[in-house]
Chain A
Amino acid sequence: MTCKKLVAASLLAMTVAAPAMAEVESLEPIRMTLHDWTGQLLTTHIMGGILEEAGYNVEYVQADYIAQFAGLESGDLHVAMEIWATTGQEAMDAAIATGNVVSFGPTGMQAIEDWWYPSYMEEQCPGLPDWQALNDCAQLFSTAETAPFGRYLGGPVTWGGFDEERIEALGLDFEVVHAGTDAALFAELESAYQRQAPIVLWIYTPHWATSRYDGSFVEFPAYEPACYEDPSWGVNPDMAYDCGKPRGDITAVGWAGVPEQWPGAAAAIEAFTISNDDMSEMVGLVDLNGEAVEDVAARWIADHEDTWRAWIQ
C-alpha cells in the first residue's frame, strides 16, 4: 500500500516536474527521418514523442533509407531509428567509418528475413515449413516463365540475400525472380492470397505482412557465420550458403553532432528498446485496423510512461 502510494506520488512529482525538465540543452529541432514502412514510422514517432515529452523539439523528414546517410553525415538529418543489419549494414558501417555518424546501439528488435509462404500452402504441400518438403512440391510454384522450376519471388536486387547461391547449394528446383521494390513484392502476395494461389517469396519482419497474412517462414538449416564462409559446413560439403538467412539487430544511428548538441536526447535514444512482438502488434493496429501511426505511438507513450521516464533521466 505505502509502496504503491510512493510510486504514485513520485510519478505525480515527475509529471509536475515535467515542465522543469523542459530545460533541455538546445531547442533546435532534432530532425528524425521517416521511411516507407509502418514499423519504422512507429519507432520514430514513439522516440520523437518521448523526446518531445522531455522538452526537445522534433522535426520529421521523409528520406530514402540508404540515401539518408548522406544527410546524416552532413548534419542535415540527425537521427535514423531503424537500420537493419540485414539490409543496411554495409551503408551503416561506411557512414560510421567517416566519423560523422554514430551508432545509438540496438533498438531491441530483431530483423528476420527469409523465404515465406501463406499457410494455405500447407494443405497442398504437406511437410512445410521444412525446406526439403518445399523442394518436393516445387512443381506447384512453377509458372510459364520459370517452368520446369518453381518460381521464388525474391527481393529487389539491392537487398542481396544470396538466394541464387542458396538455391544452388541446397539443390532447390526454384528460380529467383526479383521484384524491383517491396511494394511489388507485397502486391504479388496480395494477389496470390486473394486467389489462394501458390506463392513463396521473400518476407521480412517486423512488417505488417506477417500480421495481415497467415503464413510461416520456410525452415532452412539455421544460419551460422561458418555457413556463408566455409563451403564444407552444412548439408552441401562443396558450397557455402547452404542455410537460411542471418537474423540481426535493428540499430538506431545519428549524426555525430547529436551527442554534443543534445546529450540528453542521445542518451534517451541509446536507452530506447522495444520488442518484436510489441512492434508487430502496433504495426497490425495501423495496417489492419487503420489507426493513425501518431495515435498508436501516442498510446504506447501514454501506457509505458515509467519505461521511458527512465530513458530520459
Chain B
Amino acid sequence: MSVLDQDLKTPIRLRSLTWLRAPWLFWGGLLILTWAVSHYAFDIYRALDARWIIRFPATWQPDFESRITAFMDWLLHDAQLFGILFRDVTRAISAVIEAPYDLVVDVLVTGLQQGIGQQAVQILPPLSWVAVIFTVTAVGHYTKSWSMAVLMGLCFTYLAVFGQWESAMLTLASVLIAVPIAAGGGLLLGVLAFRVRWVDRAMRPILDLMQTVPVFAYLVPILFMFGFGPVSALVATIIYAMPPMIRVTIVALRGVPEELAELGRMVGCTRRQQMWKVLVPSAKPMLMVGVNQVIMLTLNMVIIASMIGAGGLGYDVLTALRRLDIGGGVEAGLAIVVLAIALDRLSQAYAGRTVTQKAAQSQGGFAMRHRWSLSIIAVILVTGLIGAAASWLQTYPDALVINTGQIWENAIGYINVNYFDTLDAAKTFLLTWFLLPVRQFFVGIPWPWGLMAMTLIGLRVGGWKLSLLVFVLTGLIVLSGLWDKAMMTVYLCGASVVIASAIGIPLGLLAASNPVSNRIVGAFIDTLQTLPSFVYLIPVVMLFRVGDFSAMIAIVAYALAPAVRYAAHGIRSIDPQIIEAGIVSGCTRGQLMRRIKLPMILPELLLGLNQTIMLALSMLVITALVGTRDLGQEVYIALTRANTGQGIVAGLSVAFIAIIADRLLEAAAKRMRKQMGMA
C-alpha cells in the first residue's frame, strides 16, 4: 500500500485513496465486531434465552438430504425416458465406454484372450515393454526432438525398472480412454456454448459445480448408475476432468482474431466449415492447453478412481498405504508422477509444434515420411515374435527390478525416532498460537451474524447482485443445517491458505528472479501436485498424529502450487519500463520489491489466492481420512454409508463456499485492477 501514498499527484491514486480510507474502517470494524459476536455468542444466547442463535433448529430445516435420496432412488429405479428405464440408458453408456477400454487393456496388459475365466486361452500377448518404450520414444521424436524422445524413453524405462510396469499400463489404459472422451466432449460442449448464447449461460453454473463439488459426493450415484468396476471410475474421472476443456474451448474460440473469421466468411464457408476448418484449427494451440489440463486432472483422479474399482497405480498406492507399506506407496506414487511428467511434456510439445517441423515431416517418399510408424510396427512384430520364446523381451524380468521401498521406510523411521519431539514441539506451538485461536474465532460465529456479515462483504466488494448471490448460497448452507461444519471447513481451509500463501508467494518471487531457481521451484511444485496426497498423508500422520495439524500440512502441500505460479507469473508480466523507471529514480532492490513489484502484482496474487482456495477445498475430502470434523468428513461419511442425499448436500455446501470465495475474490481483483488503471 505504501506506493500509494508515495505519489498522490496522479488522479488514479486520489481515487484509490478515497476507497482505501474507508476499507480499513469497514474491514477492521467487521473483524472486531465478528470477533466480539463470536466470543460472546454463548452469553448472548444465555441472555436472550435464544438457543437458535448458536444452533440452527432442526425443525427449520427443509430436510434436503432425504428428498435428494428419494429423488435419486426414483431416478435409479423408476425413471423412464421415452419408455426406456433411465438405468438402462446409463448401463448402455457404460457398455459403450467399456468396449474400447477392454480393448486397450487387452493390448497393454492382458493380451487378447478367448473364453472366460479359467477356460480363457491367450491368443495374442500384450505389447511387450520394449515395444511400448520404443513407441513412446518415437512419438517423442515425432512431436518435438531427440531430447524429447530421450525423456519419454527414460520415463517409461523408469516404470519398468522400478517394477511398476503392469500397474502403470493399466493406469495408462484408463488415461487413454478418459482423456479423448473428456477432451472431445469438452470441445463439443465448448463449441455449442460458443455458438448458442443460452447454452453458455446455462453451462456456467453447472461447470462451477462440476469443478467444486468433491468427487466423493457423487461417487455413490455413479456407482448405482454405471455399475461397479472400471467404467464408473472412468465416468467419475471424465466428469472431473472435462470442465477446464469446456472453458478453454470457449476462451480459445473467442480469441480467434476477427480477421480470420472474416476471411472464412468471405471465402464462403458454411457454418460448419467456418467452425471446423477455420475457427477450431486456428485455436488449436490453446485447445491443446486444455487437453494438457485434462490429462493432468485425469492423473489426479487415479487414487479416488481406484477406490471404486479402477486398478493400476492408484490401487497400488492405496493398498500399500493401508498395509503401512510406506515404501511401496512412495514407489507407486512416484510412478504416477513420472507418468504425469511424460504425458504432460508430450502434450505440451504437441501443442507447440511449429509449421517448419510439420513441413519437414511431410517431405520425402512414403518410407521416409512414415519411418517412425513403420519402425514401430516392425519393433512390435519382432518383440512379439521373439518374446514368445525369450520372455525377458515380453515382460521386464523380475530379477532386475530395483526396489527402493526399504530406504523410504527407514528414512521415515529414522525421522520418527530421532526428531519426533522436535516436530511435536513445533506443532504444539503452531497449534496453540495460530490454529486453535483461528478455530475458536470461526466456530464461534453464530449463523445469523455470519449470514449478515457475508452479505455485507458481498455488497461491499461487488454490489447488490453479488451480495444477493452470497446471501442465497450462505443461506442454503444454513438451511441444510451444516453451518457448524461449514465454519470448521472455513477455518481449516483459511488457516491452510494463509500458510500456503506465506510459503508460496516468496517461493514464486524467488522463481521469477532467475532461471535456475525457476527450474528447481518448478520441479518441486510439479511433484507436489502430481504426487498423490495419499502418499505423504500417512508419513505425516506418523510424525504429527491424527488431527487438524496433519490435515493442514496435506492441504498446504497440495495448494501451494498456484500461489507460487501466480506470483512468479505476475512478476514476469510487469512492464519492464515500470521497473526501469523505479531504478532510474533510485529505488533500492528492497524498495523495488515492496513499492513497485508487490503492489503491481496484487491482482495476480488475488487470482493465485483464489486458485489456492479452490485446491484447498478440493483436498478436504482427502484430509477427512485423517480425522477432521468438517464438510469433507461429512462427504466421506456419506460415502462410506452410501447415503446419496447426505453426500450431495455436503458436497454442494463445499461447492457453495468455493463459489462464494471465487466470486468475492474475482470482484476484488477486478476492482483493484480498475484502480491501478490496468483494466
- Contact residues of A with B, CB < 8 Å? 27-29, 31, 33, 36-38, 52, 56-59, 61-71, 74, 76-77, 91, 143-145, 153, 156-158, 177-188, 190-191, 194-195, 197, 208, 287
Say how far A238's CB is from chain B's closest CB, in angstroms: 26
B228 pairs with A144, CB closer than 8 A: no
Q: Using A63-B228, A184-B627, A195-B417 as known contacts, list a sample of 11 further A-B pairs with CB atoms less than 8 Å apart, ordered by residue number in A.
A: A29-B116, A33-B228, A38-B323, A67-B642, A71-B228, A157-B637, A179-B627, A183-B321, A183-B538, A187-B542, A190-B324
- Mark out the residues of chain B between 607 and 652 whose CB falls within 8 Å of any chain A CB in the assembled complex: 623-628, 633, 636-637, 639-642
Q: Name 22 A/B residue pairs within 8 A (Cβ), A-sorted.
A: A27-B119, A61-B228, A66-B641, A71-B223, A71-B227, A77-B228, A144-B432, A145-B547, A153-B546, A156-B640, A177-B627, A180-B624, A183-B625, A185-B546, A186-B324, A187-B538, A187-B541, A188-B541, A188-B545, A191-B545, A197-B420, A287-B323
Cα separation A214 to B319 with both chains bound (whole Å): 23
- By a CB distance below 8 angstroms, the chain A residues around B603 are none
Flag whether B441 is at the interface (Cβ < 8 A). Answer: no
- Contact residues of B with A, CB < 8 Å? 116-119, 219-220, 223-224, 227-229, 306-311, 315, 318-319, 321-324, 413, 416-417, 420, 424, 428, 431-432, 537-539, 541-543, 545-547, 623-628, 633, 636-637, 639-642
Say how far A164's CB is from chain B's closest CB, in angstroms: 14
- By a CB distance below 8 angstroms, the chain A residues around B432 are 144
- By a CB distance below 8 angstroms, the chain B residues around A56 are 117
A76 pairs with B538, CB closer than 8 A: no
A70 pairs with B308, CB closer than 8 A: no
- By a CB distance below 8 angstroms, the chain A residues around B322 are 36-37, 182-183
Contacts known (A183-B625, A188-B541); A67 close to B640, Cβ less than 8 A: yes
- By a CB distance below 8 angstroms, the chain A residues around B118 are 52, 57
Cα separation A187 to B416 with both chains bound (whole Å): 11
Cα separation A33 to B223 with both chains bound (whole Å): 14
A184 pairs with B431, CB closer than 8 A: no
Select B309's contact among A28, A57, A62, A287, beta carbons within 8 Å.
A62
Contacts known (A62-B309, A188-B541, A188-B542); A180 close to B323, Cβ less than 8 A: no
Cα separation A70 to B417 with both chains bound (whole Å): 44
Contacts known (A66-B641, A76-B227); A187 close to B324, Cβ less than 8 A: yes
- By a CB distance below 8 angstroms, the chain A residues around B116 are 27-29, 57
Cα separation A33 to B636 with both chains bound (whole Å): 21
- By a CB distance below 8 angstroms, the chain B residues around A76 are 227-229
Say how far B320's CB is from chain A's closest CB, in angstroms: 10
B546 pairs with A67, CB closer than 8 A: no
Contacts known (A52-B118, A62-B309, A64-B307); A184 close to B220, Cβ less than 8 A: no
Find the residue from B220, B319, B642 having the highest chain A CB count within 10 A: B642
- By a CB distance below 8 angstroms, the chain A residues around B641 are 66, 91, 158
Cα separation A144 to B431 with both chains bound (whole Å): 9
Cα separation A63 to B318 with both chains bound (whole Å): 13
- By a CB distance below 8 angstroms, the chain B residues around A195 are 416-417, 420
Select B625's contact among A33, A153, A181, beta carbons within 8 Å.
A181
- By a CB distance below 8 angstroms, the chain A residues around B321 are 183
Cα separation A180 to B636 with both chains bound (whole Å): 9
- By a CB distance below 8 angstroms, the chain A residues around B636 are 180
Say how far B125's CB is from chain A's closest CB, in angstroms: 21
Cα separation A22 to B228 with both chains bound (whole Å): 28
B324 pairs with A70, CB closer than 8 A: no
Select B626's contact among A62, A77, A158, A181, beta carbons within 8 Å.
A181
- By a CB distance below 8 angstroms, the chain B residues around A153 are 546
Contacts known (A69-B642, A188-B541, A188-B545); A156 close to B627, Cβ less than 8 A: yes
- By a CB distance below 8 angstroms, the chain A residues around B633 are 157, 180
B315 pairs with A62, CB closer than 8 A: yes
Find the residue from B228, B539, B637 having the highest chain A CB count within 10 A: B228
A144 pairs with B428, CB closer than 8 A: yes
Cα separation A60 to B210 with both chains bound (whole Å): 31
Residue of A nearest to B221 (CB): A70
Contacts known (A36-B319, A61-B229, A188-B546); A180 close to B625, Cβ less than 8 A: yes
- By a CB distance below 8 angstroms, the chain A residues around B538 are 183-184, 187
- By a CB distance below 8 angstroms, the chain B residues around A74 are 224, 227
Find the residue from A31, A36, A56 having the highest chain B CB count within 10 A: A36
Contacts known (A194-B413, A195-B417); A180 close to B626, Cβ less than 8 A: yes
Residue of A nearest to B310 (CB): A62
Residue of A nearest to B622 (CB): A180
Say how far B109's CB is from chain A's closest CB, in angstroms: 15
Residue of A nearest to B220 (CB): A67
Cα separation A52 to B117 with both chains bound (whole Å): 9
- By a CB distance below 8 angstroms, the chain B residues around A52 are 117-118
B311 pairs with A65, CB closer than 8 A: no
Residue of B nearest to A59 (CB): B117
B626 pairs with A66, CB closer than 8 A: no
Find the residue from A28, A157, A187 having the highest chain B CB count within 10 A: A187
- By a CB distance below 8 angstroms, the chain B residues around A191 are 416, 420, 541-543, 545
A180 pairs with B228, CB closer than 8 A: no
Say how far B428's CB is from chain A's closest CB, in angstroms: 5
Residue of B nearest to A159 (CB): B640
B309 pairs with A180, CB closer than 8 A: no
A36 pairs with B324, CB closer than 8 A: no
Residue of B nearest to A143 (CB): B545
Contacts known (A67-B640, A191-B420); A57 close to B306, Cβ less than 8 A: no
- Enumerate the 3 nearest inter-chain pairs by beta-carbon distance, A residue then B residue, closest first: A57-B117, A191-B542, A180-B627
- By a CB distance below 8 angstroms, the chain A residues around B543 are 191
Say how far B644's CB is from chain A's closest CB, in angstroms: 9
Residue of A nearest to B323 (CB): A287
Residue of B nearest to A38 (CB): B323
Say how far A280's CB is from chain B's closest CB, in angstroms: 15
A190 pairs with B542, CB closer than 8 A: yes
Cα separation A184 to B543 with both chains bound (whole Å): 11
- By a CB distance below 8 angstroms, the chain B residues around A287 are 323
- By a CB distance below 8 angstroms, the chain A residues around B637 are 157-158
- By a CB distance below 8 angstroms, the chain A residues around B307 are 64
Say how far B335's CB is from chain A's closest CB, in angstroms: 19
Select B642's contact among A70, A144, A180, beta carbons within 8 Å.
A70
B639 pairs with A67, CB closer than 8 A: yes
- By a CB distance below 8 angstroms, the chain A residues around B628 are 180
- By a CB distance below 8 angstroms, the chain A residues around B542 are 187-188, 190-191
Residue of A nearest to B414 (CB): A194
Select B224's contact among A70, A185, A188, A197, beta carbons within 8 Å.
A70
- By a CB distance below 8 angstroms, the chain A residues around B537 are 184
Say how far A248's CB is from chain B's closest CB, in angstroms: 19
Cα separation A63 to B220 with both chains bound (whole Å): 11
- By a CB distance below 8 angstroms, the chain B residues around A185 are 546
Cα separation A38 to B322 with both chains bound (whole Å): 9
Cα separation A80 to B309 with both chains bound (whole Å): 15
A58 pairs with B117, CB closer than 8 A: yes
Cα separation A208 to B642 with both chains bound (whole Å): 27
- By a CB distance below 8 angstroms, the chain B residues around A179 are 546, 626-627
- By a CB distance below 8 angstroms, the chain B residues around A29 are 116-117
- By a CB distance below 8 angstroms, the chain A residues around B428 are 144
Cα separation A33 to B306 with both chains bound (whole Å): 14
Cα separation A103 to B94 with both chains bound (whole Å): 29
Contacts known (A61-B229, A67-B642, A71-B223); A27 close to B627, Cβ less than 8 A: no
A194 pairs with B625, CB closer than 8 A: no
- By a CB distance below 8 angstroms, the chain B residues around A157 are 633, 637
Residue of B nearest to A212 (CB): B324
Residue of A nearest to B117 (CB): A57
Cα separation A161 to B677 with both chains bound (whole Å): 61
Contacts known (A57-B118, A157-B637); A184 close to B223, Cβ less than 8 A: no
- By a CB distance below 8 angstroms, the chain A residues around B223 are 67, 70-71
A67 pairs with B625, CB closer than 8 A: no
Residue of A nearest to B420 (CB): A195
Say how far B236's CB is from chain A's closest CB, in angstroms: 13
Cα separation A180 to B551 with both chains bound (whole Å): 10
- By a CB distance below 8 angstroms, the chain B residues around A33 are 228
